[in-house]
Structure 1
Amino acid sequence: MSSPPTHQPAPDHLDDEFDIAEAKLEPAVAAPPKQRRRPALIGLGVALVALGGLGAAWLATSMSDTVRVVAVREDVARGEQITEDDLTTANINTDPALDPIPAARQSEIVGQYASVDLPAGTLVTEGSYSSDVRPGEGEAMVGVAVTAAQLPGEALRPGDIVRIVDTPNPQDDPPGSTPDSIEATVVSTTTDEESGQHMVNVIVPEVRAPDLAARVATTRIVVVLMSRAGGQ
Structure 2
Amino acid sequence: MLLDHQPTKADITPPASPRPDAVQLRARRSPRLIALGILSVVLGALGAGALYSMNTHNADVVVMTRDVVRGDRIQASDLAVVSVPAGLTMETSSSAKMGEMVGQTARSDLPAGSFPVARHLGEDPIPEGRSLIGIRLTPGRLPTADLPPGTLVQLISLAENDDSVTDAVVASSPILLDDGSGHLLDVTVADAAAPSVATLAATDLLVLIAVGEG
What TM-score results when the alignment is normalised by the length of structure 2? 0.69
User: Which of residues 131, 144, 152 in structure 2 aligns to 1:161?
Assistant: 152
User: Which of residues 154, 171, 177 in structure 2 aligns to 1:187?
Assistant: 171
User: Which of residues 121, 131, 137 in structure 2 aligns to 1:129?
Assistant: 121
With 37-46 and 48-57 compared, the bigger mean Cα shift is at 48-57
User: Which of residues 95, 99, 104 in structure 2 aligns to 1:107?
Assistant: 99
Q: CA deviation at 1:159?
A: 1.8
Alignment CA distance shift 1:13-1:161 (3 Å): farther
Partners of 1:40 and 1:78 lie apart in 2 by 61
Structure 2 SS opposite 1:40:
helix
Asked if 1:146 corresponds to 2:130, the answer is no
Partners of 1:56 and 1:105 lie apart in 2 by 33
Q: CA deviation at 1:41?
A: 1.9
Q: Are the equivalent residues in 2 in contact too, given 1:69–1:102 (CA < 8 A)?
A: yes
Partners of 2:38 and 2:177 lie apart in 1 by 45
Partners of 2:171 and 2:142 lie apart in 1 by 15
Q: Are the equivalent residues in 2 in contact too, given 1:165–1:222 (CA < 8 A)?
A: yes
Asked if 1:116 corresponds to 2:108, the answer is yes
Q: Note the alpha carbon deviations across 1:155-191, whole angstroms, 9 max, x for none.
A: 332222222334589xxxxxxxxx6432222222464
CA RMSD after TM alignment: 4.1
Letter in 2 for 1:120: A
Corresponding pairs, count: 202
Alignment CA distance shift 1:224-1:184 (3 Å): same
Asked if 1:80 corresponds to 2:72, the answer is yes
Alignment CA distance shift 1:152-1:48 (3 Å): farther
Residue ranges of structure 1 left out of the alignment (5+ in a row) = 1-11, 170-178
Partners of 1:28 and 1:129 lie apart in 2 by 82
Alignment CA distance shift 1:35-1:28 (3 Å): closer
Letter in 1 for 2:80: T
Asked if 1:38 corresponds to 2:23, the answer is no
Q: CA deviation at 1:76?
A: 0.7
Letter in 2 for 1:182: T
Partners of 2:24 and 2:177 lie apart in 1 by 68
Q: Note the alpha carbon deviations across 1:40-70, whole angstroms, 9 max, x for none.
A: 2222222223333444565577679865332
Q: Are the equivalent residues in 2 in contact too, given 1:65–1:94 (CA < 8 A)?
A: no
Partners of 2:155 and 2:57 lie apart in 1 by 42
Q: CA deviation at 1:87?
A: 0.7
Letter in 2 for 1:219: D
Asked if 1:89 corresponds to 2:81, the answer is yes
Question: Percent identity, aligned pairs only?
Answer: 30
Structure 2 SS opposite 1:111:
coil
Partners of 1:165 and 1:142 lie apart in 2 by 15
Partners of 1:184 and 1:65 lie apart in 2 by 47
What TM-score results when the alignment is normalised by the length of structure 1? 0.65
Residue ranges of structure 2 left out of the alignment (5+ in a row) = 1-6
Partners of 2:105 and 2:19 lie apart in 1 by 92
Alignment CA distance shift 1:58-1:155 (3 Å): farther
Letter in 1 for 2:184: M
Partners of 2:193 and 2:129 lie apart in 1 by 10
Q: Which structure has more helix as a fraction of its residues?
A: 1
